[in-house]
Amino acid sequence: MADKNYIILEKIIGHIDKIASYSVGLERATFLADTKAVEACVFNLLQMGELAGRLDEGFRSAHADIPWFKIRGLRNKIAHDYEGVRLEIVWDIVKDDLSVLRGQLADLLFMGKNSAG
């Protein structure tokens, strides 16, 4: 399972876990007022998008149920229009979307490990 795509998935999951640790126990208003937590989460979201762009196109196509385009699009929004990033959307992603994405990626890793042997 040394395939670069699975290595990238592991790194993306690592960024999701970091975001979870930065936001654990925070309510929306507390998160939005906590500059360090916001910037840490935004940085890790940016890294996730960067990594998603390094996945092979065939791999992304084979797993089209994962929102690769949105992950990459958020990275572009952060990188090129940081002042235009709506922190309420970041909060929604952190609290509502990342746990689902983590589960999807973990399933892909599991399948990859089991098919490699």
Tens digits of residue pLDDT in 5-32: 999 999 999 999 999 999 999 999 999 9
Helices (H) and strands (E) in the chain, counts: 7, 0
Looking at every residue in the chain, the average pLDDT score rounds to 93
pLDDT at 82 over 80: no
For residue 80, the enclosing domain spans: 4-116
pLDDT at position 1 is 47
pLDDT band at residue 58 using 50, 70 and 90 as cut-offs: very high
Whole-angstrom distance, CA of residue 117 vs CA of residue 112 = 9
pLDDT at 77 over 50: yes
Contact 5, 105 (CB under 8 A): no
Whole-angstrom distance, CA of residue 44 vs CA of residue 34 = 16
Residue 65's contacts (CB-CB under 8 Å, 6 or more residues apart) are 104
In the chain, the number of structural domains is: 1
pLDDT at position 59 is 96
